[in-house]
Amino acid sequence: MRLWELMARFNSFKRTNVILQHLRMSNHTDAAGEVLLERKGCAGVITLNRPKFLNALNLSMVRQIYPQLKKWEQDPETFLIIIKGVGGKAFCAGGDIRAVSEAAKANQKLAQEFFREEYLLNNAIDSCQKPYVALIHGITMGGGVGLSVHGQFRVATEKSLFAMPETAIGLFPDVGGGYFLPRLQGKLGYFLALTGFRLKGRDVYTAGIATHFVDSEKLSMLEADLLALKSPSKENIADVLDTYHTKSKIDQNKPFILEEHLDKINSWFSANSVEQIIEILQQDGSSFALEQLKAINKMSPTSLKITLRQLMEGSSKTLQEVLTMEYRLSQACMGGHDFHEGVRAVLIDKDQSPKWKPADLKEVTDEDLNNYFKSLGSNDLKF
């Protein structure tokens, strides 16, 4: 065998070995690769890196982001924090709830740890001393909203898609939904929470979920301009965001999708019970009212009642008080029927026809509801 053949064989063997090593490594670094944490320019940049799973948030990601956020907050060389998602389709489509459901059914600790640590991260974002910029390009739901809405700046694009769809899976709009939803204009947050209605593009900004709107083709330029700032103040960062926002042209003159319905939404969702809301929608009879009625009727009756009370109570609580309440609710849902049934119907079997228990609002008693909101004593969320 000629020398070059030997060499070629050896090189291909070496290449194969390198590839194998790489694969072995990727098994170990999967968790590490799911979120990238980098210092760039004047900023700390968090990149959610699970594009195949629409950047869904899992416990290992929470455990990497939280300590890094705290470090950057204390670092005099870090002037802002940027969080974004990879892949263009999603910022973050939510928490990895399938894993949480499986863990809860197997009585594993993950179901406690995930919610506890996720909510502590939501609170850390809210109290972060450095300007925090979330680029919510693409799908932003549930856990993804928790990673963005509590930060100082949230930048939507025409590709943004916001929803809190938890009532459809037997859960409730958590991650501080009990705090930020009732603080949106009028009763808009109550409407979004109970129906799971989706807001797209500039409407995410108009609703108050985002603080700025930027055309997506300008997003990488915006990021570069933010990173290039020299020791910026909060005002310098706001100026850059404002400039891009002012120049964005997409859907500039398009009215808010809910504009013509806002007065009705405010009156319908001022009712004090889910049963009353349903009755009012039936009486109204307009096509928009009946669409919302149809959506609400698909939701878990238990979730609907929990959610209305969560928002009513949350409207006068601090974020930490809300997260404490939501942690209690999360643990009660883990021990209940509807969350696991919702995950089965929507994410596992995908038959989209969950069998809720109880199946009727009338059967969800005040006593049942009170049990969901009960203190967990020494297991309560602590900050």
166 is catalytic: yes
**DSSP-assigned beta bridge partners for residue 139:** 90, 161
Burial grade of 383 (CB within 10 A; 0-12, 13-18, 19 or more)? exposed
170 is catalytic: no
Q: What is the distance between the alpha carbons of residues 69 and 88, in angstroms, rounded to a whole number?
A: 24
Which alpha helices (DSSP H) does the chain contain, by range? Answer: 3-33, 59-74, 97-105, 110-126, 143-146, 177-180, 188-195, 202-206, 219-227, 234-247, 262-268, 274-284, 287-298, 301-314, 319-334, 338-343, 366-372
143 is catalytic: yes
259 is catalytic: no
Neighbours of 193 (CB within 10 A): 28
Q: What is the distance between the alpha carbons of residues 148 and 146, in angstroms, rounded to a whole number?
A: 6
Cβ contact 157:216 at 8 Å: yes
Q: Which of the residues 34, 96, 118, 174 is marked catalytic?
A: 174
Q: Which of the residues 143, 189, 201, 314 is marked catalytic?
A: 143
Cβ contact 114:59 at 8 Å: yes
CA–chain centroid gap for 256, Å, is 22
Q: Which of the residues 96, 118, 166, 341 is marked catalytic?
A: 166
Q: Which residue shows structure tokens 């009625």?
A: 293
Active site residues: 95, 143, 166, 174
